[in-house]
Structure 1
Amino acid sequence: MKRKEFAVIGLGRFGGSICKALSEEGVEVLAIDIDEDRVNAYANIASHAVVGDTTDEAVLKSLGIRNFDHVIVAIGDSIQASILTTLILKELGVPHITVKATNDYHERVLNKIGADQIVHPERDMGKRIAHNIISNNVLDYLELSDEHSIVEIVASRRLDGHSIIDLDIRAKYGINIVAIKRGKDIIVSPQATEIIRHGDILIVIGADTDINRFEKKLVEE
């Protein structure tokens, strides 16, 4: 089975971190930036690193960009360059395009021209940090949509010794405990009879409003 090939356009902080993470997973990554210094910095990290203006269709064609399975457009310093690059990638038939948006206007345009996935790294990280600051029990927060999330919550003494079925979490709060971290052990899809212990890390999934109700009534001390 052919391994997927990725291209990352824009090697700033966001694009660079994606390029490095993909390379560490052992996949083929083409790194592209208009800045030669940035490209040189990733020459020994990515499979290939090239200097190129991706708003020029001829440049993208010469790189064989249409042969890549997934292209990440991480251009952060020029909305115009980001939009034009995305438009050319769509016209060339790239199967999957993920684009970094810098604001809501940028996102609306990207949606109209057919970007497959749009990410807001600064906004999303801000939400995670704010959520963690507000609640002492929340360790991590991953937004699945505008209204649903996966959250890691530390079980307080109020939950100690109670089973999942005793607490009736699913019926009362509409959320699901999909896993429990206990020390070095991880209990995936815990049984309803599983006893929760103080200090357990509960990985819960559900609507944000339901998760917040659960935090306030059962978790916060």
Structure 2
Amino acid sequence: MKQFLVLGCGRFGSSIAKTLYKLGHDVMVIDKDSEKIKNISQHVTHVIEGDAKDEKIIRSLGVSNFDIVVVTMALNIQSSILTSILLRELGAKYIIAKAQNELHAKVLYKIGVDRVVFPEKDMGAKVARNIISPNIVDYINLSSDYSIVEISPLKQWFGKSLIELNLRRKYEINVIAVKQGDDINISPRADYVVNKGDILVVISHNSNSKKLMKLVNK
């Protein structure tokens, strides 16, 4: 279980926070909007009602104790940059920040932000899963029950066929395609041998999320 601090509880921030919490992680959220804090309080571990841009509050949080800090207030570019600088000075281990545009992103990287995301490109839940599992290349919710996930195969899978791996029985995932660069193999045969560089496109029941995250983090 990892410790996360999410600064800002807008649509993007709350989506990240809720998803991380559902995946079994410890999540603290801070926002000055009492209504937003009230709404999310049952969906995360800890909440603080306060201005996420307030230096005194940030200093009081002990940011160095968190594995990852997520800065979600991109509309106020100056505050986003200053908060990120402060987090780095206070010893934050890993900072993820939302950017308004490419120039904003360049500045964030320059001041030491580890990863920048764009809200119009990256949905909060998708970003949250990728934070936890870098081996997950893409994640698409098909419905309330099923999702399509693109994953990088584990090293121990290289050189083995799909029938040998038996992913359906072991991990409750069905391989529906294999990507190899620009090529895609739809409905690969059971004797298909997994290679380094392959991307497996699988379908998984949403109740299997935690199991899938543990699998790709091995």
TM range (shorter): 0.5 to 0.7
Relative contact order (C-alpha < 8 Å, sep 6+): which is higher? 2
Q: Does 1:33 align with 2:31?
A: yes
Alignment of 1:35-74 (within 5 A): 35-74=33-72
In the other structure, the counterpart of 2:179 is: 204
Q: How many residues matched?
A: 153
CA 1:193 to 1:57, structure 2 compared with 1: closer, same or farther past 3 Å?
A: closer
Q: Quote the sequence identity (%).
A: 40
Preserved CA contact (<8 Å) 2:6 2:27: yes
Distance 1:79 1:51 in 2: 22
2:94 to 96, 118, 128: 96
CA 1:193 to 1:92, structure 2 compared with 1: closer, same or farther past 3 Å?
A: closer
In the other structure, the counterpart of 1:142 is: 138
Distance 1:6 1:121 in 2: 19
Look up the SS of the partner of 1:105 in the other structure. Answer: helix
- Specify the code of the residue in structure 1 equivalent to 2:57: V
Give, in angstroms, the shift of residue 38 of structure 1: 1.2
Alignment of 1:102-181 (within 5 A): 102-124=100-122, 142=138
Give, in angstroms, the shift of residue 189 of structure 1: 5.1
Give, in angstroms, the shift of residue 34 of structure 1: 2.2
Alignment of 1:73-88 (within 5 A): 73-88=71-86
Distance 2:55 2:73 in 1: 16
- Specify the code of the residue in structure 1 equivalent to 2:178: I
- Specify the code of the residue in structure 2 equivalent to 1:204: K
TM-score computed with the length of structure 2 as normaliser:
0.60
Distance 1:121 1:89 in 2: 21
TM-score computed with the length of structure 1 as normaliser:
0.59
- Specify the code of the residue in structure 2 equivalent to 1:24: K
CA 1:67 to 1:178, structure 2 compared with 1: closer, same or farther past 3 Å?
A: closer
Give, in angstroms, the shift of residue 124 of structure 1: 4.7
Preserved CA contact (<8 Å) 2:72 2:97: yes
Preserved CA contact (<8 Å) 1:73 1:82: yes
- Unaligned runs of 5+ residues in structure 2 are 124-136, 140-148, 164-174, 187-218
Give, in angstroms, the shift of residue 60 of structure 1: 1.0
Give, in angstroms, the shift of residue 69 of structure 1: 1.5
In the other structure, the counterpart of 1:16 is: 14
Greater radius of gyration (CA):
1
Preserved CA contact (<8 Å) 1:11 1:38: yes
Preserved CA contact (<8 Å) 2:98 2:116: yes
Deviation string, structure 1 residues 6-34 (Cα, Å, up to 9, x no partner): 11111111111111011112221110112
